[in-house]
Amino acid sequence: MKTIEDLKRLREQLKTKNNLRHDGGIQVIIGMGTCGIAAGARKVLTAVLDEIAKRKLEDVKVRQTGCIGMCEQEVLLDVVRPGEPRITYGKVTPADVPKIIAEHVVNGRIIQELAIGKIIE
């Protein structure tokens, strides 16, 4: 288990490598409203940061947002790939994160059994 200090160091390392507000590149957005946090969003966020660091994915930006509005589907995680629709995954657990990162973030394949929405921007 990581300590808060370990997570803070990891966050600072990722901030140094990535401009989290940069518009280009792939984005992973995690709903961190109170409903998301109550459903386990912090553990999902930690799993996302760990998986991205493990794979050395320097072009992936991790962002947090407030309530996305589908509280019954928490934990919500969106993947945004340039030029593609924004995909929302619902009821995400830390165990789902490696598959989401490997399949969708790295290889561009949507995981249909976890996807609950698509936003075409």
| Domains along the chain with CATH numbers | 22-117 (3.40.30.10)
Residue 20 has pLDDT above 50, yes or no: no
Buried b / exposed e over 82-94, threshold 16 CB at 10 Å, is eeeeebbbbebeb
pLDDT at site 23? 55
Look at residue 98 and give its three-state secondary structure. helix
| C-beta atoms surrounding 98 within 10 Å | 15
pLDDT in tens, 75-117: 999 999 999 999 999 999 999 999 999 999 999 999 999 999 9
Separation between Cα atoms, residue 25 and residue 107, nearest integer Å: 14
